[in-house]
Chain A
Amino acid sequence: MSVHYQAVGWNRQKRIYDSFLAAGIVVYLAIFGGMGAVLYPTATAETLLIRGFGTLGLFLMHVILCIGPLCRLDRRLLPLLYNRRHLGVAMFLVALVHGVFSIIQFHALGDVSPLISLFVSNTRYDSLAQFPFQALGFAALLILFVMAATSHDFWLHNLSAPTWKRIHMLVYLAYALVVAHVVLGALQADRNIVLAVLLGLGLVLVTTLHLLAGAKEKAVDRAIAGAERDGFVEVCAMDKIPEKRAKVVSLHTERGTERVAVFRYDGRVSAISNVCRHQNGPLGEGRIIDGCVTCPWHGYQYSPESGTSPPPFTDKVPTYRTKLIGDRVLVHPAAIS
């Protein structure tokens, strides 16, 4: 909802978030380094740094992957989404340090370029225990780089939200590569069971949350709104919609099945598309603030009647005609604009 391009749009809340994030990273590395030096006195500082940044990146990736489904399952956690991209860029930087240190440590002292050495020093692709796992980590790092580089709203606006989201869904491929990188790398070399247990638990947690959230979303899509009356579709009773909140319904429209957010406010109802123009956030999970529907993800606002953003912004979401018969709310599935 920016009227002009801003390279960096940090606000106080984001600065506080980033400060805590940076402090958390430093504290983790300090604790990991301290404990590592005590438990593994033979490990060098470089090895501890590689392991510290590697495990931190792995942990952050799991946290990031849990945020999306958690927000789908419980809307009280939606504030976590607000700064998820900052967390993602931080995770990429942590992974980058891990990768650079590893390449220097294991590939910089030979007579070939470290990047070439990364791919040719081990070609045991036929062995699980001796698989060239570093190449998997490198591929994951490349994906994370693309995501970090395109994380700014500039790219979101220029690529359009669906394309941008498709690119950023590559994080799932990156996650699979990282899991393979750790299973075939650190887990093969280290007899310590802690990393294996933590990775297994993280894997179960991430996949379970995503499956639960996916099942919940599928149930919403399947629950197509009720009977038709004069082209209008019955949604629910008026008192089933909380004041200044919405009920999200799936409607058969000319563009296929669409989710529509039906808001109730000041004794009236309005229906708009459930899809925010910014990052396709769920408008129906937001509420009406200062007379505007406010997206729960990043606070983009729209008039519940016209679907337009308040001036000077120019975004607009499709709206739908509504009708009240008794206490029943009806919506016409043809979008007005």
Chain B
Amino acid sequence: MIQPLRRSHFWIWIGLSVLLPIFFVVGVLSRQTITPVNPTVHWESFK
């Protein structure tokens, strides 16, 4: 009765366990350097 659901559940996680780690690693590696904080500017003084 619920075997088809169990089967699709199983295959969804097979797919996610392959795709998500790849996506995570690619996403982290694609990070670019951002403009460093200027230590002479004190933003809290503008609050």
Q: A residues touching B (Cβ–Cβ < 8 Å)? A: 41-42, 44, 128-129, 162, 165-166, 169, 172, 175-176, 179-180, 183-184, 187-189, 191, 196, 199-200, 203-204, 207-208, 210-211, 214, 217-218, 221, 255-258, 273, 275, 280
Contacts and interface: CB of A to CB of B under 8 A. Distances in A.
Interface residues on B, range: 20 to 34
Contacts of A128: 26-27, 30
A180 B23 contact: yes
Contact of A169 (B12, B23, B27): B12
Main SS of chain B's interface residues? helix
| Residues of A contacting B: mostly | helix
Contacts of A221: 3, 6
Given A169-B12, A211-B13, A183 B24 contact: yes
A129 B31 contact: yes
Interface string B9-47: 110111011011101101110111010000000011001
A275 B1 contact: yes
Given A129-B30, A165-B2, A188-B30, 17 more contacts: A128-B26, A128-B27, A129-B32, A162-B2, A166-B5, A172-B16, A180-B23, A183-B23, A183-B28, A196-B28, A199-B24, A203-B20, A203-B24, A207-B21, A214-B9, A214-B13, A280-B2
Contacts, number: 85
A221 B3 CA distance: 9
Given A179-B24, A187-B31, A211 B2 contact: no
B31 A255 contact: no
A211 B16 CA distance: 10
A179 B27 CA distance: 10
Contact of B9 (A169, A184, A204): A169
Nearest to A317: B1
Contacts of A257: 3
A203 B25 CA distance: 11
A207 B16 contact: yes
